[in-house]
Structure 1
Amino acid sequence: MARVGYFLSSEEFSPTELVEQAKMAQDAGFHALWISDHFHPWNDAQGQSGFVWGTIGALSQAVDLPITTAVTCPTVRMHPAIVAQAAATAAVQTGGKFALGVGSGEALNEHILGDRWPASAGVRLEMLEEAVELIRRLWSGELVTHHGRHYTVEGARIYTLPDQPPPIYVSGFGPRSAQLAGRVGDGYVSVLPDAELVEAFRSGGGAGKPTQGGYKVCWSRDREVAEKNAYRLWSNELIPGELAQVLPQPAHFEQASSLVSEAAVADHFVCGDDPDEHLRGLNSYFEAGYDEVFVNQIGPEQRGFFDFYAERVLPMIAAPTG
């Protein structure tokens, strides 16, 4: 049976709401959790952005599901040494059921301390690679001193460590970043059902490593209501190119999203209560080569979504053949 998890949106829901959603996900039969890590939401309509490490601590006491950050940027807003400590604690709290998902980040979250946001994607990936190396060194439990191109650590040691270091899954939205994920990551995460990216990850060194994909739906018995909620809350997902990496404020995403039509959003997201449409959306990721898919419900109809997936979708999921 294919593995389907639930994607907790830190941008749209409070920490308390996310814990309740995690409980519902566990009861509904979802096998694991993703949780986003942001300082700002993408737009003011989403309205939240709690500190993910506090939420993970609460989740660890509320459910038994594995948890992956999707994704943490360990390069600017938070120094990799602090991310290493936070992730090690999360792994201890969850009894080893934690994976650190990392990515090169967005200016939206990373500009807040006044640090320069690198315009070059190549520099951002270089920073990510050094951060991953440093995090793993710190997880050894040894005293670490590091003077790298981007980061300095002086005599740091992490004392609270899990029995085994958590895996690091690396995000990639283009061939170059997917290949980096294959080379330095223990797994791959993406929100695109793109078989070419999965293959770039595997050919770059990721053969045999797990792959996780995530996507959003908007369940409602009223398709029109679902489409309006998706447009109001997540039209930013259709902003093209590198804008998502370089725009610094939610207001800028709202301005760019004004160019996205309601029809385009309705076509992009699975909306409504047709189980076949939801199944096709999930299977598009499995057919692209993902081992696990994490689905997020947009908007307020959370209980209805979980009941629908428990009764009409999850029992029908099967890994594609051929």
Structure 2
Amino acid sequence: MRFSGEFGLQFTLHIANQYSTPQLVNLAELAHDQGFQQIWVNDNMGYRSVFVVLTAMASRVPVKLGTAILVPYFRNPLDVAGTLAAISELTDGREFSVGMARGAKAPAGQQVYRPKPLAMVRETTLFLQALLRGETVLVDDYPVVAAHHQIRPGARYRMSFPPQSPIRFYSGGNGPKIHNIAGRIMDGILMGGAFIPLMRIGKLEPLMEIAHEAAQTTDPDKRLFNICEINVSVSRNRAEAKRFTKPYVVQIIVEWGFSEEEYIALGITPEKVRSVRAACEAGSTIEEAAEMISDEEVSSCFVAGDPEECLEQLEPLIAEAERLGFGQVSLAKLGPDYDEAIRLLGADVLGKLA
């Protein structure tokens, strides 16, 4: 089958830390040349700034760009609004996409306090949307945002210049409450690294329906544009492709809230879940905890291997994305060598499934 929507890529800066900003721009240019329609960049403290990297890409590569995801605790939304509007002056009318979520427990939860995450995502989104529409914003209407960022009570703010390209917002969370919020106030869902496990245990479609129903309640004519991230690690070196995934598998295990039966269905024993979480809580790095992950456990949340293996694993996942009405499949994580992975995915995915 061929997917009727878009194909994008996600660049994950905290593990792709070997690439300089100019190299990331070159890789974005390669992805565009291979036919990918969007580049997403993730947000972490202590690594290259998501907005600096995206601005560099926007200045040279004619491709749709976005944050996957932006962590609202990291930055004052007044600064974010100005940054988004400024970047929109470089995108030649192409949408700039803002994926928004609380941030992963590892590492974001180890870097900042994350109080009231649902309210924080909701208020930050509404705050940014109002500013970008040119409205005057009263910060007292956003108490969680104002308290976290220590914004002066009673303050009013208004943007001094308008965005020049569309700026749209997508929820990066995976639970029913955030999907309800997303359906009401956002432009769509950015279903992240839990896409594969949620699909396999039967939870994905009900979550998408929550967002759809919330959107229809808000506006019967509202149509969400939904993106799914499929974690991929592809290389002609099969062993390296598998090894690359394991730090991500650790991070996902730390975040998941599945039942023991669901973990077992995904091929991960409850004992392994407990041991990985205990190691992280005791101070092990993600890389150290990754030594605990087997090749078999990788398939719980990743497509991994050589190009032929990856294509075989991707076909049913993309077929499900098509059935559920996703507008974009974003291939995330990519592999140990981004240049090799982008070329292989361009030839073996876009060449056969787009």
TM-score by length of structure 2 reads 0.75
CA-based RMSD of the aligned residues comes to 2.9
> Hey, what's the Cα distance between the residues in 2 that align with 1:267 and 1:131?
33
Name 1:130's counterpart in structure 2: 123
What are the residue-to-residue correspondences of 1:57-136 with 2, within 5 Å? 57-74=55-72, 76-97=73-94, 98-107=96-105, 108-109=107-108, 112=111, 116-118=113-115, 123-136=116-129
Is 1:225 equivalent to 2:240 in the alignment? Answer: yes
Judged with a 3 Å threshold, the aligned counterparts in structure 2 of structure 1 residues 186 and 232 are, in CA distance, closer, same or farther, namely closer
SS of residue in 1 equivalent to 2:119:
helix
- Count, aligned residues: 302
> Hey, what's the Cα distance between the residues in 2 that align with 1:156 and 1:250?
42
Name 2:262's counterpart in structure 1: none
Higher mean C-alpha displacement, 235-244 vs 213-222? 235-244
| Offset of residue 238 of structure 1 | 3.4
For residues 160-207 of structure 1, the C-alpha deviation after alignment (integer angstroms, 9 at most, x for no partner) is 322455111122201111111101111111121522222121112165
The one of 4, 12, 15 equivalent to 2:15 is: 12
Contact 2:13 2:42 in 1 (8 A): yes
Judged with a 3 Å threshold, the aligned counterparts in structure 2 of structure 1 residues 256 and 230 are, in CA distance, closer, same or farther, namely closer
Is 1:195 equivalent to 2:195 in the alignment? Answer: no
| Offset of residue 221 of structure 1 | 1.9
For residues 224-271 of structure 1, the C-alpha deviation after alignment (integer angstroms, 9 at most, x for no partner) is 231122225654233353599xx8998454565555433201453212
> Hey, what's the Cα distance between the residues in 2 that align with 1:126 and 1:17?
37
Contact 2:34 2:346 in 1 (8 A): yes
| Offset of residue 304 of structure 1 | 2.8
Code of the residue aligned with 2:143 in structure 1: it is R
For residues 123-170 of structure 1, the C-alpha deviation after alignment (integer angstroms, 9 at most, x for no partner) is 210121111111122113344332132233523232232245511112
Code of the residue aligned with 1:91 in structure 2: it is S
Contact 1:35 1:71 in 2 (8 A): yes
Judged with a 3 Å threshold, the aligned counterparts in structure 2 of structure 1 residues 180 and 58 are, in CA distance, closer, same or farther, namely same
| Offset of residue 30 of structure 1 | 0.7
The one of 251, 268, 273 equivalent to 2:307 is: 273
SS of residue in 1 equivalent to 2:92:
coil
Name 2:318's counterpart in structure 1: 282
Judged with a 3 Å threshold, the aligned counterparts in structure 2 of structure 1 residues 240 and 116 are, in CA distance, closer, same or farther, namely closer
Higher mean C-alpha displacement, 296-305 vs 6-15? 296-305
Contact 2:173 2:191 in 1 (8 A): yes
- Unaligned stretches of 5+ residues in structure 1: 41-48
Judged with a 3 Å threshold, the aligned counterparts in structure 2 of structure 1 residues 300 and 111 are, in CA distance, closer, same or farther, namely closer
Name 1:44's counterpart in structure 2: none
For residues 31-71 of structure 1, the C-alpha deviation after alignment (integer angstroms, 9 at most, x for no partner) is 1111111115xxxxxxxx21011011100022111112111
| Offset of residue 6 of structure 1 | 1.2
Is 1:151 equivalent to 2:149 in the alignment? Answer: no
Name 2:173's counterpart in structure 1: 172
Higher mean C-alpha displacement, 17-26 vs 235-244? 235-244
Contact 1:22 1:63 in 2 (8 A): yes
> Hey, what's the Cα distance between the residues in 2 that align with 1:106 and 1:86?
23
Name 1:291's counterpart in structure 2: 327
Name 1:46's counterpart in structure 2: none
Higher mean C-alpha displacement, 101-110 vs 27-36? 101-110
The one of 25, 36, 43 equivalent to 2:42 is: 36
Higher mean C-alpha displacement, 78-87 vs 163-172? 163-172
Is 1:241 equivalent to 2:262 in the alignment? Answer: no
Code of the residue aligned with 1:109 in structure 2: it is A
> Hey, what's the Cα distance between the residues in 1 that align with 2:77 and 2:327?
28
| Offset of residue 99 of structure 1 | 1.5
Contact 2:91 2:165 in 1 (8 A): no
Judged with a 3 Å threshold, the aligned counterparts in structure 2 of structure 1 residues 23 and 124 are, in CA distance, closer, same or farther, namely same
TM-score by length of structure 1 reads 0.82
Quote the sequence identity (%): 22
Judged with a 3 Å threshold, the aligned counterparts in structure 2 of structure 1 residues 250 and 269 are, in CA distance, closer, same or farther, namely farther
> Hey, what's the Cα distance between the residues in 1 that align with 2:137 and 2:173?
28
Judged with a 3 Å threshold, the aligned counterparts in structure 2 of structure 1 residues 284 and 239 are, in CA distance, closer, same or farther, namely farther
> Hey, what's the Cα distance between the residues in 2 that align with 1:92 and 1:316?
35
Name 2:48's counterpart in structure 1: 50
| Offset of residue 218 of structure 1 | 1.2
Code of the residue aligned with 2:45 in structure 1: it is F
> Hey, what's the Cα distance between the residues in 2 that align with 1:105 and 1:238?
15
> Hey, what's the Cα distance between the residues in 1 that align with 2:315 and 2:34?
16
- Unaligned stretches of 5+ residues in structure 2: 217-221, 258-272
